[in-house]
């Protein structure tokens, strides 16, 4: 069943506390974007907030994955959460004292997300050990649901309270949210691979094993390349949304929060839909659909300029994004050996982060060169072209069968 992983009391406790932490993270993320729009009107600097968030994952996710396979993943998660909490409280203090500027905001965002880079491979690999093997893929979907439920709530909190309480209070909220994760992991989760010596030779061997594993399973390369292409293109909308809403259309902070929350609602819908999608479609077909949906959303963003339509489009975009993340994570956590999962997730996180960092930077530059409408039009057409190439080059009989069934109901 959809909710079967939640029958595990430990997994359930971790899932709940992670939900609250993710709410704080999303409130922090949207607050950073809103604060940057108050500090500058440069589309490049506004988009670089997303780059500063993703670049640490690109740089550190692979070594973090290797380390997570060599020491206690629980310990690594706790230390990463402590570091992120300290950074979040520091950002709150600097902002409260009036010392925040655009460069400092980008720098502190970068430092905070170094902690996230070390947290993600360890946490994702550890979560797959908290449920029975047959529930691992659905646990990945539920983890994504937690992340996206928070995407509904966190941005709404940031949009509403940014002007009411100020960014410093929202940064502090994120710092507090990390403390709950630390407490639950410390008292509820057991160590999984302790008493291993973390030495340079072990890390070097871990890197080599990961590379060899990629050669042994060529299908992994396709997963990573496909995820990279999706995140490069789809992240363009995430990165430019603050510019589109606040700077270009002169809408309010609350409008940006509502639209970001709409994407979270769409992602929550995916958590329910993917359970039924998998009965008719392969993982490859699902990621092809997500690519086409992302392209259509960006194309319609150019064609229409109405807030309520943007809300509907962000629902679809959130479903598309969550569909891709759920499929990629589910495959890595369920179909490859347990002892190397952190490393594979680390490699995936590199493609995930590199795609978003590159897409965010290029989208900001494209707006400056071509203007907003032309930039989004070209990005959307390229996304649709790649999506339809996937459709033509892969066996899509499952998709055609589903369409036939829907037409004949």
Mean pLDDT of the chain: 80
Return the H-helix or E-strand segment holding 316. helix 307-334
> Residue 306 burial (CB < 10 Å; 0-12/13-18/19+)?
exposed
Task: Name the nearest CA neighbour of 26 among 134, 133, 155.
Answer: 155
Cβ–Cβ < 8 Å for 224, 348: yes
Domains of the chain: 8-407 (1.20.1250.20)
- In this structure, what is the dihedral angle of CA atoms 215, 219, 220, 221, given to the nearest 10 degrees? 80
| Closest by CA position to 69, among listed 279, 290, 347, 315 | 347
What pTM did the predictor assign?
0.67
CB contact at 8 A, 308 and 251: no
Contact between residue 289 and residue 274 where contact means Cβ atoms under 8 Å apart: no
Q: pLDDT 10s per residue in the chain (409 long)?
A: 556 777 777 888 888 888 888 898 888 988 998 899 888 888 778 878 878 887 888 788 778 877 877 777 888 889 999 999 999 999 999 999 988 998 999 999 999 999 988 888 787 777 767 777 667 767 776 777 777 778 778 877 887 788 888 899 999 999 999 998 898 888 877 766 554 555 556 556 666 666 666 666 666 677 778 888 888 998 888 888 888 888 888 888 788 888 888 887 887 787 677 767 777 877 778 888 889 999 999 999 888 888 889 999 999 998 888 888 878 777 766 666 666 666 677 777 777 778 877 888 888 888 888 888 898 899 999 999 998 888 777 654 444 444 444 344 4
Interacting residues of 162 by C-beta distance below 8 A, sequence separation 6+? 30, 31, 34, 170, 253, 257
């Amino acid at each position: 069943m959809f909710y079967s992983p939640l029958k595990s009391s430990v997994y359930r406790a971790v899932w709940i506390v992670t939900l609250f932490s993710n709410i704080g993270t999303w409130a922090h993320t949207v607050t950073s974007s809103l604060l940057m729009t108050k500090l500058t009107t440069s589309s490049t600097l506004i988009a670089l907030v997303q780059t500063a968030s993703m670049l640490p994952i690109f740089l550190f996710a692979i070594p973090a994955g290797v380390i997570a396979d060599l020491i206690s993943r629980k310990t690594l998660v706790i230390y990463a959460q402590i570091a992120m909490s300290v950074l979040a409280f520091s950002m709150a203090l600097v902002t409260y004292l009036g010392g925040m500027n655009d460069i400092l905001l980008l720098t502190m965002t970068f430092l905070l997300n170094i902690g996230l880079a070390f947290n993600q491979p360890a946490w994702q690999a550890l979560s797959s050990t908290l449920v029975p093997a047959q529930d691992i893929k659905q646990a990945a979907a539920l983890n994504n649901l937690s992340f996206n439920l928070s995407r509904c709530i966190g941005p709404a909190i940031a949009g509403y309270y940014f002007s009411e309480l100020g960014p410093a209070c929202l940064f502090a909220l994120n710092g507090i949210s990390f403390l709950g994760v630390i407490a639950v992991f410390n008292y509820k989760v057991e160590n999984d691979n302790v008493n291993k010596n973390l030495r340079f030779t072990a890390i070097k061997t871990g890197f080599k094993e990961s590379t060899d594993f990629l050669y042994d399973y060529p299908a992994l390369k396709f997963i990573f390349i496909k995820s990279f292409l999706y995140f490069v293109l789809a992240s363009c909308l995430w990165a430019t949304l603050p510019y589109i809403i606040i700077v270009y259309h002169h809408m309010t902070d609350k409008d940006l929060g509502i639209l970001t929350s709409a994407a979270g609602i769409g992602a929550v819908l995916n958590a329910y839909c993917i359970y039924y999608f998998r009965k008719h479609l392969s993982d490859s077909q699902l990621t092809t659909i997500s690519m086409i949906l992302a392209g259509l959303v960006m194309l319609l963003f150019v064609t229409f300029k109405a807030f309520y339509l943007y809300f509907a489009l962000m629902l679809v975009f959130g479903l598309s994004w969550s569909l891709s993340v759920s499929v990629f994570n589910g495959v890595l956590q369920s179909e490859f050996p347990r002892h190397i999962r952190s490393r594979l997730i680390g490699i995936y996180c590199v493609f995930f982060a590199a795609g978003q960092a590159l897409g965010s930077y290029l989208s900001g530059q494209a707006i400056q060169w071509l203007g907003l409408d032309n930039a989004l039009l070209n990005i959307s057409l390229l996304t649709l072209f790649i999506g339809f190439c996937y459709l033509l080059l892969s066996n899509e009989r499952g998709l055609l069968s589903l369409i036939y069934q829907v037409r004949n109901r």
